[in-house]
């Protein structure tokens, strides 16, 4: 199901209309979950700023499409086929990177008593243990050169819980703690670590969970967006992937060098309650 469009009268900012000017020429970035959604937007935005981007995903077709769409950008996009449950390979892939964007994620909406333990394990592996291994693989190079940026794409669910999302919420809360620890350890080495916390983003991950949310809350699918997903958001629209990518790029800029160990929230006022 395709997520409904923005309600009438709610302006959607064009993130690309006045792009942030950041020069990342000579930098190497790694983005996980790069074949679609937020990861795709981050990959293209970092490459447009001049970075060479290792685009990590297990979706070969999506990576090929991403590489084709990146032609002509200032930086090169290098497709990197990898399943993040292979933790040793994930750590090795991060070696030599200047910028690490931990983005890959998955979602299942179920009550705890019905949540499959194997899925819980996989979610925690991909969304928490893999970021740890990727950071671990990236830090030696970052420390050696005295500069590095770790951008963890968390979620409003890293700051707030929702029912029926035990694995996702646990992983995102864990990622917040990991990010803060990396910030404290990396500060003396010129490395920052920040979480970016969007609300619901217009991505396939969100679109695919609408049916599950409808079943969990006993609602028709056409009411899920307004009565569940956007219920606590003051701004009644989905976040666009490009908006998250602009935030990630900003965190790589000189102007953001003092921002570390914190969470940059793009939640439309959700956490203001």
Catalytic residues: 168
Angstrom distance (rounded) from CA 37 to CA 103: 10
Angstrom distance (rounded) from CA 195 to CA 154: 6
- Nearest CA among 264, 241, 220, 218 for reference residue 45: 241
- 3 state SS of 32: strand
Rounded to whole angstroms, the maximal C-alpha distance in the chain is 54
Beta strands in 33-164 (DSSP E): 52-57, 77-81, 99-102, 148-153
Q: Which two tokens stand for residue 65?
A: 């499409």
Q: Which residues contact 176 (CB under 8 A, 6 or more apart)?
A: 152, 154, 158, 159, 195, 263
CA angle 7, 202, 175 (to 5 degrees): 130
Say if CB 152 and CB 178 are below 8 A apart. yes
Q: Which residue has the tokens 């950041």?
A: 22
State the Cα torsion 263-266-271-273 to the nearest 10°. Answer: 150
- Nearest CA among 166, 172, 53 for reference residue 109: 166
Angstrom distance (rounded) from CA 14 to CA 7: 16
């Amino acid at each position: 199901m395709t997520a409904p469009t923005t309600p009438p009268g709610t302006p959607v900012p064009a993130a690309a209309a006045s792009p942030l000017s950041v020069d990342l020429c000579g930098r190497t970035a790694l983005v996980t979950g790069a074949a679609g959604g937020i990861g795709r937007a981050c990959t293209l935005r970092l490459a447009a700023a001049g970075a060479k981007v290792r685009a990590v995903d297990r979706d070969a077709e999506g990576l090929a499409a991403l590489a084709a769409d990146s032609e002509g950008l200032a930086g090169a996009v290098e497709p990197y086929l990898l399943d993040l449950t292979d933790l040793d390979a994930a750590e090795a892939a991060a070696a030599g990177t200047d910028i690490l964007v931990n983005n890959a994620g998955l979602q299942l909406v179920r009550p705890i008593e019905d949540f499959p333990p194997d899925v819980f394990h996989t979610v925690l592996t991909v969304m928490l243990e893999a970021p740890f291994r990727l950071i671990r693989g990236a830090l030696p190079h970052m420390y050696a050169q005295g500069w590095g940026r770790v951008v963890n794409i968390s979620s409003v669910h890293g700051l707030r819980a929702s029912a029926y999302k035990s694995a996702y919420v646990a992983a995102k809360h864990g990622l917040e703690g990991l990010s803060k620890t990396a910030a404290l350890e990396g500060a003396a080495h010129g490395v920052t670590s920040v979480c970016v916390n969007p609300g619901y983003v217009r991505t396939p991950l969100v679109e695919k969970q609408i049916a599950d949310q409808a079943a969990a809350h006993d609602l028709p699918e056409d009411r899920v967006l307004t009565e569940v997903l956007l219920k606590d958001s003051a701004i009644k629209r989905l976040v666009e992937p490009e908006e998250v990518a602009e935030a990630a790029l900003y965190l790589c800029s000189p102007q953001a060098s003092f921002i570390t160990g914190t969470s940059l929230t793009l939640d439309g006022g959700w956490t203001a309650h």
